[in-house]
Amino acid sequence: MTEHLEAVVHGDVQGVGFRWFVRRTATELGVRGWVANRADGTVAVTAEGDPPALDRLVAALHEGPRGARVTRVDDRRGPASGGFQRF
């Protein structure tokens, strides 16, 4: 069973390698999707994968890479669309 995750990461998360961190972590977990910086200084993550893998990804989003300071992660889940081939 796969789920869809949408998350927005708040804090000092741009210019610190956050997107590369998310991509590497998601790939290691077998999660598919994308990550992007947003104009408001947050990072958006859309991902699909097994619920335990998404749980680990969300936990990693709360930590972030060295140099990041995550203050909040807003996330929600729903049914997977199956529209992603890779991260």
Give me the DSSP letters along 13-67: -SSSSHHHHHHHHHHHHT-EEEEEE-TTS-EEEEEEE-HHHHHHHHHHHHH-STT
Enter the pTM of the model: 0.95
Q: Does the residue 14 lie in any domain?
A: yes
Contacts of 22 (CB under 8 A, 6+ apart): 35, 43, 45, 57, 60, 61
Domain span holding position 58: 3-77
- Tens-place pLDDT, residues 4-59: 999 999 999 999 999 999 999 999 999 999 999 999 999 999 999 999 999 999 99
Spot the catalytic one: 23, 24, 37, 77: 37
Q: What is the dihedral of CA 41, 47, 53, 55, to 10 degrees?
A: 50
CATH value at residue 35: 3.30.70.100
Examine the residue annotation and report whether 37 is marked as an active-site residue of this protein.
yes
Q: Is 84 inside a domain boundary?
A: no
Catalytic status, residue 72: no
Of these residues, 19, 56, 72, 77, which one is catalytic?
19
Total number of domains in the chain: 1
